[in-house]
Amino acid sequence: MIVHNSYMKSLVTFLVLGSASLSAADIATVEEIVAKCNGDIVTKGDLDRARREFIGELRQSGVAGTLVEQRLAEKQKDFLRDRIDQLLLVQKAKDLDVKVDSDIAKRVAAMQTESGIADPDKFHDWVKEQSGLSFEDFKDEMRKSLLTQRVIREEVSDKLAVKHEELEKYYSEHKSEFVREEKLFVREILISTEGKDDAGVAAAEKKAKDLVARARRGERFAELARDNSDAVSAKGMGELPPYTKGQLSTNLEDQVWNQPKGYVTDPIHITNGFLILRVEDHQKAGQAELAAVESEVMDKVFAPRMQPAIREYLTKLREQAFLQIKSDWIDTGAAPGKDTSWGDAPTLKPETVKKSQVSSKIHHKRLLWTVPVPGTTTGGTSSSQ
């Protein structure tokens, strides 16, 4: 990896200039640098934000009371590790010339569709309101997450080979895990008629019929649901939880229970609109054959190998990196034997920047979505961004 000269300097703090002539009263410490990683830095503010976001995620998932402090105590030691992990992976993506621009464009387009905001400026304002980031910064955070995922997939997961014989062995030794209850898997599209007059109801029915025709011609039902459904499930591409016999209303169950995978119903007139269902799968009761659960068996065999492989890969990246960490901070993912000690203190000199430059860096809040950072071993989503 390339080490950028601007960061080879011994940076200690960002300082704000209060006037042309610098005096003690004019200087305020804004960010303390904790670590230097190739051409990037980790600040104490980065780690404080990670801590706040982690607490927010715990509470959002229903964790409360002393359990929050317990989970935080378990996770606290890894915030610096996770931040360095992300920096190394994004840097590696640049070395590999990984491109994610088309993926970003698709995700942003999907977000704009879901938000229902057609005007670009208003959509950008909505993103800022939801995420706390400018639209460009939001896309940059999305880019980092996608780059991280791509590097892990290409450099680690794609190189972990699992032989079919291993799947057969796991399946034969854990058959009881694959005894199935009969379940039906469906997706839905709802075209609402709430608050509509007769003309509006007629228009809703026509739209529903058009969507059925499109789905039966081969258009992807999940995308049709995402782009057209008025149900809350639209954000999940219309996916519903699996149903056992008797959980669906008799009217709906009769229309889908005995239908084959891929079957799309006619519009079903219900109280609040027109409902379209597609059969995604019908899991039969009894012992599932290996062929039917092979992907699930693969996950069970593959998952225990993945985290150690990721950590091994990140250790190699650390070994190749220019990495310096302040003495009162610990990288729990440190490469054994690598010297990451901070530069000679007497030679360190502060760098100064204008307040406007600093303020542009201090604006990270929780994103609309998050992607787990490799190396996370505790509950919740790792938030080192």
Residue 4, by phi and psi: left (phi above 0), alpha (psi -120 to 50) or beta?
beta
Q: Is the pLDDT of residue 175 over 80?
A: yes
- 142-173 tens-digit pLDDT: 999 999 999 999 999 999 888 999 999 999 99
Instruction: Show the tokens assigned to 313.
Output: 């890969």
CB of 277 closer than 8 Å to CB of 142:
no
Distance CA 118, CA 126 (A): 11
**pLDDT in the model for residue 373:** 40
Q: Is the pLDDT of residue 372 over 70?
A: no
- Bridge partners of 268? 275
**How many CB atoms are located within 10 Å of the residue 87 CB?**
25
**pLDDT in the model for residue 56:** 86
CB of 88 closer than 8 Å to CB of 333:
no
Domain boundaries, the chain: 5-159+300-359, 182-284
**pLDDT in the model for residue 25:** 52
Q: Is the pLDDT of residue 11 over 60?
A: no
Strand 286-287 and strand 268-270: the pairing is unpaired
- For the entire predicted model, the pTM comes to 0.63
Strand 13-16 and strand 351-353: the pairing is parallel
Q: Is the pLDDT of residue 361 over 70?
A: no
Mean pLDDT of 245-266: 94
Q: Provide, rounded to the nearest whole percent, the portion of the chain with pLDDT above 70.
A: 81
**How many CB atoms are located within 10 Å of the residue 294 CB?**
15
User: Which alpha helices (H) appear in the chain, and where do they start and end?
Assistant: 5-8, 44-60, 66-76, 79-95, 101-115, 120-131, 135-155, 164-173, 198-216, 221-228, 250-256, 290-320, 355-359
The dihedrals phi and psi of 332, each to the nearest 5 degrees, come to: -70, -5
- 103-127 tens-digit pLDDT: 999 999 988 887 889 999 999 999 9
Whether domain 5-159+300-359 has CATH 1.10.10.60: the reply is: no
The average confidence (pLDDT) of the chain is 84
CB of 184 closer than 8 Å to CB of 282:
yes
Pick the CATH number of 182-284 from 3.90.76.10, 3.40.50.620, 1.20.1560.10, 3.10.50.40: 3.10.50.40
